[in-house]
Amino acid sequence: MAIEYWRNRDRYYRLIGSRCQNCGDEFFPPVYRCRGCGSEKIVDKEMPKSGKIVTYTRLHEPLPGFEAQAPFYLAVVELKNGARVLSQVVDSPDESVKTGARVKATVRRMKVDGESGQIIYGYKFVVDR
């Protein structure tokens, strides 16, 4: 698990998605074939670091590994380029987490790998006040 994570860490820290060279559509997570035109001319593209909350939910019964963070918000964020990301919303007052709220990406600790003790980081979003 930890080796695979470290090989792909740039994708977690930099929000790397993909862009179709044929029609210009951008996607996150990355795709190998454009959903718009079907082209396979796809390149990596760093996604914008800001967007808005499209929809969200507050989880009181978290997935395994996230018990210590409960309750927390999970949101679909539409980035400035139109790509959508599913992510946690952190470090934000409850009243600020709402549909349409502007958010920005941040890097936070996700978990600690039990076998190696490595701390694994990833992207989350914060309401932009």
Task: Please tell me the predicted confidence (pLDDT) of residue 6.
Answer: 57
Single out the residue of 94, 92, 81 nearest to residue 47, CA to CA: 81
- What are residue 90's phi and psi, to 5 degrees? -125, 165
Single out the residue of 59, 66, 42, 68 nearest to residue 97, CA to CA: 59
pLDDT of 3 higher than 60: no
pTM attached to this predicted model: 0.82
More confident residue, 129 or 126: 126
The topology under which CATH files domain 2-127 is: OB fold (Dihydrolipoamide Acetyltransferase, E2P) (2.40.50)
Share of the chain above pLDDT 90, in %: 60
Domain residue limits, the chain = 2-127
> What is the rounded end-to-end Cα distance, in angstroms, of the chain?
36
Please name the residue that has the structure tokens 């018990």.
67
* Mean pLDDT, rounded, of the chain: 87
The count of residues in the chain is 129
pLDDT of 1 higher than 60: no
